[in-house]
Amino acid sequence: MNRINIIQKIIDKKMARTYLEIGTASGNSFFPIKARRKIAIDPNFTFSKISKIKWIFKNFCNIRAKYYRLSSDNYYRNVKLSHRLDVVFIDGLHTYQQSLKDVINSLSNLKENGVIVMHDCNPPHRASAYPADSYNHAASLNISGWTGEWCGDVWKTICYLRSFRKDLNVFVLNCDYGLGIITKRKPENNLNFTEEELNKLTYDDLEKNREELLNLKPIEFLDRFLNSL
At 92-136, the pLDDT tens digits run 999 999 999 999 999 999 999 999 999 999 999 999 999 999 999
Per-residue confidence (pLDDT) for residue 72, from 0 to 100: 98
pLDDT tens-digit readout, 155-201: 999 999 999 999 999 999 999 999 999 999 999 999 999 999 999 99
pLDDT band at 82 (very low <50, low <70, confident <90, very high): confident
Residue 51 C-beta-side C-alpha neighbours within 13 Å: 11
Residues spanned by the domain of 26: 3-228
pTM more than 0.95: yes
Mean pLDDT over the full length of the chain: 97
Per-residue confidence (pLDDT) for residue 107, from 0 to 100: 98
DSSP, collapsed to helix, strand or coil, labels residue 15 as coil
- Beta-bridge partners for 37: 18
Beta strands in the chain (DSSP E): 18-22, 37-41, 66-68, 85-90, 110-118, 169-173, 179-183, 216-217
Question: What CA–CA distance (Å, rounded) separates 43 from 48?
Answer: 15
Residue 7 C-beta-side C-alpha neighbours within 13 Å: 30
Question: What CA–CA distance (Å, rounded) separates 172 from 177?
Answer: 10
List the CATH number of the domain containing 157.
3.40.50.150
Count of domains forming the chain: 1
Angle at 88 (CA atoms; ends 105, 204), nearest 5 degrees? 80
